[in-house]
Structure 1
Amino acid sequence: MSSGGSAQRPEGLGTRTSRGIYVSATTPGSGKSLVALGLAEALHSHTDRIGFFKPVVAGTTPDADPMVALIRSRYNLDPAVCRGGLTAREVRKYLAEGKREEIGARTVDVFSEIAAQCDVVVVEGTDLVGQDSAVEFALNARLANDLGCPMVAVVSGRDRTPEEIADAVDVARKELQAAHCSLLMMMVNRAAPQHLDEISAAIRPGVSHRPVYVIPEIEEISRPTTGEVSSLLALRQIAGRADMEREVRDVKVAAMSVANFIGVLETGDLVIVPGDRADIMVGALASTFSPEFPVPSAMILTGGLSPDEHILPLLAPAPFPIFAYPEDTYHAARSVSEVRSEIWSGQRRKVASALGAWSKRVDDAEILERLNLPRPETMTPLRFLHELVGRARVDRRHIVLPEGTDVRILRAAEILHRRDVCDLTILGDDGQVREIAGSNGISLSGMPILNPATSDLRERFAHEYARLRAHRGVDLPRALEAMLDVSYFGTMMVQLGLVDGMVSGAAHTTAHTIRPALEFVKTSPGVKVVSSVFFMLLPDRVLVYGDCAVNPEPDAEQLADIAIASAETAAQFGVLPRVAMLSYSTGASGSGATVDKVRRATELVRERRPDLAVEGPIQYDAAVDASIAATKLPGSNVAGQATVFIFPDLNTGNNTYKAVQQSAGAVAVGPVLQGLRKPVNDLSRGCTVEDIVNTVAITAVQAQAVHAQTLQAQAG
């Protein structure tokens, strides 16, 4: 077994001699798991098969590691390619017995099994803790060499000056060089946010003169959640909402009068109070009566004391969890102070914050260029959605969310903000929106809330609406009334360029959402009908279905419009359009009104867009199956390989997309509206938070295209 004698290669060398990248802390508390997650996210978008390996896990079994569980879940990885190696206890035993070679041998065996099935494997080394940090540093260096992996070395910037961080980077480089490690790159994590530029300037270039990325400390990751506190203290919930994702921003021990305590209580505080202090308990519930009062993240009742039987019913509907703890207040406070949160807790808000920071500070393209990995041959749902979010970030757009009183909208807004996807404005009464957010532990920091009823914009919008709809008899009083409707107000924000797009429909019908857009945003030049598509994300490819949500019985002209718009939407999102005009008959074999309509629509598409690959009428099986296509339409450049499917009517389209969604396990993203001059998108009233996040990202990308077209037109 090699003892780490591989030749030193300079930091950032582009050639790759192994299938692994070893992420290692070089100083304690570096937060290397964020780097491992960021790398996995970047690599997954660039190659078909990634793996994850943690040579040493903290749990009692190789699979009992939270980071392994997070990566496996997020990227839907098979346990065979996402796993742990030895437990920390086994490693300590081998080291004590002088059996270092056994550690390397077993690690190489597992890594080889994973690497044989993957294009690249992210390997996360051990944490450097306590008196064993020097031993662990040497162990990570040795394992990286044994595995033949270049190393991503992570330095902690926490509580360090820019000069101290620069020195730590130099020391790490020298120590890794002495250990004969191949250094792919250095990264600084947990740096003071206000000193990022100074830190970057202070770091001296390495041999390759490649950048050293500096990532700030992220408070949202280090804050424990109510679930983590509850789990680690073995708390028993006795009242309140079972919300275990609330962030604990601070801890307040109630050791004063209720009047003084309410004066220092802030939203997100975890309140620790003796179980017989009914006055504090009721005072902390003040937020349920008025949005002006702060909302705690949780309450812990100490001393094994149960609340009075008359108080417990008041605590039951609390918007935060209330726990019982058998020991005294001092022990409770000390135990809570020892709870540490990590990104691998799996909380989606922590992951969103981590990936948002990564996207702001790290150039994925520059890192991938160093690795020289094969391009992916398939498009998985996760890769499509990852690239979607990445595209939305490239040219930042501003989206309005009119339904500010829907908790799903607020949760999605928080995730979008943390992931740095786009700018957002939320509509609704400020007090009501913040009350809903506070009672659900949602942070809306950095997102403006606009109330149409009190906004100065309402009169301006009403004048514009009355002007645009004067031919329909709309006068100013009627226009002022219309602008109280969040859909009309939000759509007018889009129309006048105050925002770039709108997403609504979680709490409103499709008709309510798109009616204002049809009234005054209107369709794009040359487009006669607004339609929709669903992106159908299958395990290995993305298909586009249209129209499944808007037009019940399109005629041939409208069907041609839908086909062309759907092809353009597909191309806009990276799907090569090969258009199948669907019917119950293929080619010239059938007749009837519906077949004739589809045949005429196909002719119109070919006349208007001769550059498009289009086939019709064609049956679904001939459109997707190459062997059937060879029999029914030999020589077709669409049959058997269609990517865009145009249904003859809404009934067929809507039922088909739902059937494929349920039977094939496809992820349906949409409906995505097309044909409007500016993007307005509709949500299903049964939408999830993830659906909203995806639709907002799609709307931002559509807005980018509109912006680019506007600039092109202005340039002549």
Structure 2
Amino acid sequence: MARSVYVTGIGRGDGRQVVELGVMELLTRQIDRVGVFRPLMHDRSPSGDRLYDLLRSRYRLTQPVGTVFGMGYGEAAALQAEKGTDELVSRLVERFHSVADDYDAVLVLGTDYADTQLPAELSLNARLANEFGAAVLPVVAGNDQSAESVASEVRNAHHAFTSLGCHVVATVANRVRESEAQAASRLLADQLPEPVYVLPEEPALSAPTVAQVQDKLGAEMLLGDPAGLGRDVRDFVFGGAHLPIFLPALTEGCLVITPGDRADLIVGALAAHAAGSPAIAGVVLTLGALPGEETMALAARLAPGTPVLGVPGGSFPTAAELFALEGKLTAATPRKAEIALGLFERHVDTRQLTDRLAVVRGERVTPMMFEHELVERSRSDRRHIVLPEGDEERVLRAAEVLLRRNICDLTLLGEPDSVRRQAAELGIDLTPLGDGELPTASQASARIVDPRTSPLRERFAELYAQLRGHKGVTYELAHDVVADVSYFGTLMVREGLADGMVSGAAHSTAATVRPAFEVIKTRPDATIVSSVFFMCLADRVLVYGDCAVNPDPDAEQLADIAVQSATTAARFGVEPRIAMLSYSTGTSGSGADVDKVREATELVRRRRPDLLVEGPIQYDAAVEPSVAATKLPGSEVAGRATVLIFPDLNTGNNTYKAVQRSAGAVAVGPVLQGLRKPVNDLSRGAMVSDIINTVAITAIQAQQSGSSAPPATP
């Protein structure tokens, strides 16, 4: 029988999608095969379920859509009226088990209390949970309530479900006013036998996106970049006054709604956005009117990415439609999903809840589980990472996730106004703390530093001149060199002002690695700096080295790469079994290339007799048990190798890319090894997720080095 968790509410408006997403995150960290079941849904196409679409895209679910849903509310109400509740429950239980039999755990999404036509809906949820054998996690809406009222609602919900025989693992009060959240937590402390978690209202979650506004109004996009549709709409400002009165009314993230013939307000709002004071979400032009071509051309130049929408109706009916619009978690709003998970992880003791759900880690390690583990480990002892490419779009998007998920503190290098302007243009919030809230030890924060104007430039110039004086570097030359973001970031790491650095999204590998060679240098136990990729296959994680740094290592260097790679693998939970790869297995071949690998294998055995190593060996014999049984029977490594060492860069780089593309593997890296302090390189084609993973790895490497830089401050 699969373990299952039934997330349910007691009424409407509880925002439980945040909790459902958070629970799914916990389950997929531990278990490979997680199913989803929604017993009842509104009578629409199953593919129209927003939350399931989000879960399917985010967690790469392959469950057939038809198995996710039990039946429609209309069908359920008719069946209940005709044949009774027992028959309704019996059919839903049968459909649940058809899912549970195929998965290691099931997340059950309770009813939504919205025009369901079902009597005693809470009791129905409780009975279904009991029949499914599911643990229950009730969610209570706390919006617009005092702390005392929230505490009372939680106690009532707990009593309602336990009195109906449910196994309640915890209770969540969600959307509690920020001013009441701490008081509610105090009132509920030790009041119930199970934990109670209080999640404050998060304005960024309830704020609709410009895309959702466009969809609601059926608006036409007149100007702007489609990426701008992802911006949050935090307020509405209606334009009618003259420009001097209108401009002070603009607020951060507001959507300007104005008649289309008010060219002065359109240009004024976009000019204010371009100046960064404040950054607006977009503009809606009403009455079906447009300013002249010259005005539209000027508007496009002022804020090229800002959405300008047009609607035929007037401002009043437009306002009436928008005031009731709330943000939704959907597959099209991945940023909101990160915000939701950040909220969940900050206010829920995830380790405690995982234990209470009795989730036991499976033996297989999937790519998603490996990525989850990186995030969890980096967050457990938060470090400070410097990102030299502070105005690069992918870096900024990754930075927001890193802060929201509390993965690490950050320093972004770049001209502050330029970085903030770019962030505003992308709709990115680099200050996820609440209004007026100061950075705390429990919340990651970021700062922006310009190497050209930083007071550290003089100190770094003196240091670099000392370090490179033997190469003829003068103070004057050093003063210019350290203004480069890569050198400045590397010197921050050397001086303990940051724990690690990640760069390369917009710079070459040489630009990232050369400063590290010059300033940080290799560890005493390493003869060279090398790299590995974590190759996350469908059912395991392999370590490939060296695929990024050393073109043609000799036997001594190849042995060093193998030892370093085995150490890196062990640090990240991969049991090292080393395969020294060649075009020949065992004693079947000869030649200089094979001899190099054979010599390197013997060097590894002499230096680290505790390591399992085999070589020379071909790739298929290293990873496929049936081939290994023929070519190297009795080997402890053949057929089950986890660390694969390539004889040269040409072989390694091409192999990792071939496996990545043809097998759909997730390649995390390159991770540099052998440096005294962690500096890691990115591919210039890196995606946002690659940057997040690499930063998390860098933070974990910094944890293992034992030093800690001061936290960033905005």
TM range (shorter): over 0.9
State how far apart, in whole Å, the 2-side matches of 1:154 and 1:551 are.
54
Counterparts of 2:194 and 2:75, CA distance in 1: 38
* Equivalence for 2:436: none
1:377 matches 2:376? no
Query: Aligned runs of 1:26-41 on 2, under 5 Å?
Result: 26-41=10-25
In the alignment, what sits opposite 1:192? 177
Q: CA deviation at 1:641?
A: 0.4
Matched residue type, 2:279: V
Where 2:76 maps in the other structure, the secondary structure is helix
| Residue of structure 1 in register with 2:438 after alignment | none
Contact 2:237 2:254 in 1 (8 A): yes
Residue 223 (structure 2) aligned to one of 239, 251, 275? 239
Match of 2:568 in 1: 569
Counterpart CA distance in 2 for 1:675 and 1:683 is 17
Normalising to structure 2: TM-score of the pair?
A: 0.93
* Residues 308 and 99 (structure 1), Cα distance of their counterparts in 2 relative to 1, 3 Å cut: farther
Within a 5 Å distance, the mapping from 1:36-115 to structure 2 comes to: 36-58=20-42, 60-80=44-64, 83-94=68-79, 99-115=84-100
CA shift digits 1:283-336 (9 cap, x unpaired)? 122046x53432321211111223323323233453211111111101111211
1:305 aligns with 2:295: no
> 2:412 maps to what in 1?
426
**1:347 has 2:333 as partner:** yes
- For residues 166 and 133 of structure 1, the distance between their equivalents in structure 2, rounded to whole angstroms, comes to 27
* 2:127 matched residue in structure 1: 142
Shift of 1:706: 0.8
Does the aligned pair in 2 maintain the 1:189–1:216 contact within 8 Å? yes
The 1:497/1:709 distance shift into structure 2, 3 A limit, reads closer
Paired AA for residue 323 in structure 1: L
Q: Distance in 2 between matches of 1:195 and 1:567?
A: 51
Instruction: Pick which of 457-466 and 169-178 moved more.
Output: 169-178
Counterparts of 2:542 and 2:485, CA distance in 1 = 33
- Contact kept? 2:74, 2:117, Cα under 8 Å: no
Query: Following the alignment from structure 1 to structure 2, what is the Cα–Cα distance between the partners of residues 93 and 259?
Result: 60
Q: Does 1:693 align with 2:692?
A: yes
Give the Cα–Cα distance (whole angstroms) in 2 for the partners of residues 210 and 178 of structure 1. Answer: 15
Determine if contact 2:2/2:103 at 8 Å carries over to the other structure.
no
SS for the counterpart of 1:310 is helix
Which residue matches 2:262?
277
Deviation at 1:88, TM superposition (A): 3.1
Aligned-partner residue type, residue 685 of structure 1: R
The aligned amino acid for 2:550 is N
How far apart are residue 252 of structure 1 and its match? 0.7
* Native 8 Å contact 2:281 2:427 kept in 1: yes
Runs of 5+ unmatched residues, structure 2: 432-444, 710-714
Equivalent-residue separation in structure 1 for 2:333 and 2:286 (angstroms): 27
Shift, 1:79, TM fit: 3.0
1:393 to 367, 375, 379: 379
In the other structure, the counterpart of 1:177 is 162
Give CA deviations for 1:202-230 in whole Å, capped at 9, x if unaligned. Answer: 116466x3321222222221111111111
1:361: which partner in 2?
A: 347
Cα separation, 1, equivalents of 2:682 and 2:171: 43
**What residue is the counterpart of 1:155 in the other structure?**
140
RMSD: 2.0
> Given the superposition, is the C-alpha separation of residues 31 and 709 from structure 1 closer, same or farther in structure 2, using an over 3 Å criterion?
closer
Counterpart-to-counterpart distance in 2, 1:580 and 1:137 = 58
Q: Which amino acid aligns with 1:456?
A: P
Q: CA offsets per residue over residues 38-81 of structure 1, 9 Å max, x none?
A: 11111111123211111122351333211111111222222337
Letter of the structure 2 residue corresponding to residue 387 of structure 1: E
Aligned partner of 2:442 in structure 1 is: none
Q: Secondary structure at the match of 1:335?
A: helix
1:709 Cα offset (Å):
11
Which of 265, 268, 272 lines up with 2:250 in the alignment? 265
SS in 2 for 1:617: strand
Residues 223-277 of structure 1: CA deviation (Å, up to 9, x unaligned):
1111111112211112221222111111111121122212221231111011111
Residue type of the partner of 1:50?
V
Deviates more, 1:453-462 or 1:215-224: 215-224
324-333 vs 105-114, greater mean Cα deviation = 105-114
* Amino acid aligned to 2:253: G
Residue 388 (structure 1) shift: 0.8
2-side partners of 1:89 and 1:693: how far apart?
A: 44
1:605 aligns with 2:598: no
Of the candidates 220, 227, 238, which is equivalent to residue 204 of structure 2?
220
Q: Which residue of 1 aligns with 2:521?
A: 522
My pick for the range that moved more, 25-34 or 195-204, is 195-204
Q: Which residue of 2 aligns with 1:405?
A: 391
- TM-score, structure 1 as length reference: 0.93
Deviates more, 1:240-249 or 1:356-365: 356-365
SS at match of 1:377: coil
Q: Shift of residue 365 of structure 1?
A: 2.7
1-side partners of 2:100 and 2:240: how far apart? 57
Q: Residue 545 of structure 1 aligns with which residue? A: 544
Structure 1: gaps (5+ residues): 1-16, 711-716
Residue 101 of structure 1: how far off its partner (Å) = 3.4
Number of matched residues?
692
Sort the Cα spacing of 1:553 and 1:639 in 2 relative to 1 into closer, same or farther, 3 A.
same
Once the two structures are TM-superposed, the CA of residue 490 in structure 1 deviates from its matched residue by: 0.3
**Aligned equivalents of 1:709, 1:361: Cα separation in 2:** 25
Identity, in percent, stands at 51
Which residue in 1 is equivalent to 2:470?
A: 471
Q: Distance in 2 between matches of 1:87 and 1:175?
A: 25
Which secondary structure does the structure 1 equivalent of 2:400 belong to?
A: helix
The one-letter amino acid of 1:357's match is L
Counterpart for residue 662 of structure 2: 663
SS at match of 2:112: coil
**Kindly tell me: are residues 60 and 197 of structure 1, through their superposed partners in 2, closer, same or farther at Cα, counting changes over 3 Å?**
same
1:355, CA displacement in angstroms?
1.3
Looking at structure 1, the residues matched to 648 and 163 of structure 2 have their Cα atoms a distance apart, in angstroms, of 69
* SS of residue paired to 1:311: helix
In structure 2, do the counterparts of structure 1 residues 372 and 480 end up closer, same or farther at CA, with 3 Å as the change threshold? Answer: same
Structure 1: distance between partners of 2:43 and 2:214: 19
User: Counterpart of 1:124?
Assistant: 109
* Aligned-pair CA distance for 1:396: 0.2
Q: Once structures 1 and 2 are overlaid, which stretch shifts more, 77-86 or 434-443?
A: 77-86
What is the DSSP-based 3-state SS (H/G/I as helix, E as strand, rest coil) of the residue aligned with 1:184? coil
Question: Residue type of the partner of 2:318?
Answer: A
- Identify which range, 57-66 or 583-592, moves more after superposition: 57-66
1:708 shift after superposition: 6.8
Aligned position for 2:318: 332
Deviation at 1:366, TM superposition (A): 2.1
SS of the residue 2:7 aligns to: strand
Which one is further off, 128-137 or 463-472?
128-137
Paired position in structure 2 for 1:168: 153
Q: Would the aligned equivalents of 2:521 and 2:675 in 1 still touch at CA under 8 Å?
A: yes
Q: Tell me, what secondary structure is at the counterpart of 2:51? A: helix
Report the Cα distance in structure 2 between the residues aligned to 1:305 and 1:299, rounded to whole angstroms. 13
Shift of 1:401: 0.5
Query: CA offsets, 1:649-696, max 9 Å, x none?
Result: 000000111111111111111111111111101111111111111111
